[in-house]
Amino acid sequence: MAAAVVTATILPTHQKCYAAAGGITAESARQQWRGSVAAIDELLQNWKTDEWAAEVGGGDRVREKIGTQGTASPMYQLEKALKVLRDSEFVADFVEFQETTDEFMGALYRADSLASSSNNKTGSGKQTPPAVFLEQSKTEVVEMQRVAKKLNAMEPLLMH
């Protein structure tokens, strides 16, 4: 008869083990956050639902800007930078920062999914036009902008 041995590792609730991979400093993460806030503002300022809906793959324009397709956006791998910031001297309230960044990332993933859906033409019958998905994606990017402002007000060292 074989016996199973179970071991458990108990970690304190706040350890650096959740931080992003090496190479990202708190200062570079802060710069990335600043660039991301500017990228969101620019995306909303130059939003072109009709133009992008007419293009094949027009939703990819949104995805490139929010960093989920390609590597050119300051928002590329933003979640890693936010984890570094969470553990840095720039953030005073770890728990509220984490909850707020979770809210931000949720909106980002919804914006990505909706923008990606605008590229798909599948199924039979009447399909949802790409413009509908792009407008829903825009709503999520507006939410990202709102949460980013909340983060900046909550943690003023992020922008100074």
- Dump pLDDT digits (tens) for 71-123: 999 999 999 999 999 999 999 999 999 999 999 999 999 999 999 999 987 66
The answer to whether 158 and 85 have CB atoms below 8 angstroms apart is yes
The three-state secondary structure class of 16 is: helix
Burial call 71-89: b when 16+ CB within 10 Å, e when fewer: eebbbbebebbbbbbbbbe
Task: Indicate the DSSP class of residue 67.
Answer: T
The answer to whether 94 and 102 have CB atoms below 8 angstroms apart is no
Average pLDDT, the chain: 86
